[in-house]
Amino acid sequence: MSRIVVIGGVAAGMSAASQAKRRLPEADVVVLERGPYVSYGACGMPYNIEDPGRTMDDLVVLTPADVREREIDLRLRHRAAGLDLERRVVAVQDLEGGGASELGYDALVLATGAAPVRPPIPGLDHSRVFLLRELTDGQALKQHLAEAQPARAVIVGAGYIGMEMAEALRGRGLAVTVVERMGQVTPGYDPAIAALVADALQRHGVSVETGVSVQAVEEVGGEGLTVRTDRGSIPTDMILVAVGVRPRVELARSAGVALGETGAIAVDDGMRTSVPAVFAAGDCAEARHIVSGRAVWIPLGTTANKQGKVAGANAAGASERFAGVAGTAGFKVFDLEVARTGLSTVEAVGLGLEAVTAVSRQRSRAHGYPGGNPITTTLAVERGSGRLLGAQMAGVGVVAKRIDVFATALTAGFDVEALENLDLSYAPPFAPVYDPVLIAATVARKRLRAAERKEAAAPGRVGR
């Protein structure tokens, strides 16, 4: 009987284990998970935290009993302490019993995920400073809200988690300040989109400090905390650090598994690593970007589940392929929906592509139908070819699903003219005759043509 060992039991890991068992029922599939939970919806934690009546267990998708019913050997609170790739052996540490053992494998899937970044700032180890990555983090934060009933919170970092938690903590009645080192909230988004996010935060009572560096966290009188920055101090009762994550690659690196240029584990489209019979998937692994063709590291739950499925199938002897990513993602902050796919103009230019940006603004519903609101869209378009490179949207209305049209267009390799001619649905409750997607394409085409005419008319250029 062959043995497939999966290290990590959340999104990618459980997808890999389930797929491997489905493909090769006679295989001994073993999952090593260092934590007490498997298969939970970590992305739902901010919304769970906002509701004091819900338990964090509501986010669990598969219980240990569910996993074992699939005849998967699940070992909770077991850590992979090392790999011997020549002998095909995993060194295992029992975190509860304290014992150590070895586990042989015929195929191995690394699904070790990502770890939250804790900057080297004095005071961040205080008991009222929280991270939010794993279910146990969410439980600790929610318990603190219930027991200590803090009145003020500082969120360090204005990415997805920071934005969602700003809404959640405001919903719990806290005064919230967001501190971001970069010059805008939601770094990576175009300035026109980031400005709408900042406005939404401020309209709902969140104080926003951008371009600010945190220097230390200090306790005041045993009761309060102070976040000391290069612009002054912010008094608070609790702190959430949400400055990003990094891939957990220590196990792979120490064993000699090759890492890619992003710092995550290098894989091919079958999720194979540099070592025979060793696969990697999820937040610890790279992916190919469908627009740039380059290896990227974009840790998302959607990617983790898809990569895990491919890794598990191939560990069981199949020949599946992961098609790549566009980095499609979205979030909500109060009444504003925000989403993106593909490259921003800045990212495109950084890769050596010639790109222009087109910004458009269109109502979400037909004129005269109640409830319509403006949607702002930014497109990155390649000069010359007119190829769509990326899209970002923000507005009060259906944004998160409209971005999927752009993601589909990126997969198909559309230029803006093909996008402009899509036959999208129309009815007054859902969209104007010309959907914001189509208007964005029209504006981008005109912007592109104007840029080309300006370039042709520049001194030293020979016109036709």
For residue 51, the number of C-alpha atoms closer than 13 Å in the C-beta half-sphere is 11
Of 245, 352, 357, nearest to 291 by C-alpha is 352
The answer to whether 187 and 179 are in contact (CB under 8 A) is no
Burial of 406 (0-12, 13-18, 19+ CB in 10 A): buried
How far is residue 49's CA from residue 55's CA, in Å, rounded to a whole number?
Answer: 9
Q: Report how far Cα 174 is from the mean position of its chain's Cα atoms.
A: 26
Overall residue count recorded for the chain in this entry? 464
Contacts of 443 (CB under 8 A, 6+ apart): 358, 359, 360, 379
Which strand (E) or helix (H) includes residue 206? none
User: Does residue 43 carry a catalytic annotation?
Assistant: yes
Which amino acid is present at 235?
A: P
Contacts of 24 (CB under 8 A, 6+ apart): 2, 4, 316, 317
How far is residue 406's CA from residue 412's CA, in Å, rounded to a whole number?
Answer: 10
How far is residue 327's CA from residue 269's CA, in Å, rounded to a whole number?
Answer: 16
For residue 68, the number of C-alpha atoms closer than 13 Å in the C-beta half-sphere is 6
How far is residue 367's CA from residue 345's CA, in Å, rounded to a whole number?
Answer: 31
How far is residue 429's CA from residue 382's CA, in Å, rounded to a whole number?
Answer: 34
How far is residue 34's CA from residue 43's CA, in Å, rounded to a whole number?
Answer: 20
The DSSP call for residue 56 is G
CA-to-CA separations, 71 to 17, 39, 216, in angstroms, rounded: 10, 16, 49
Candidate list 2, 3, 43, 70, residue with the active-site label: 43
Give the active site residues. 43
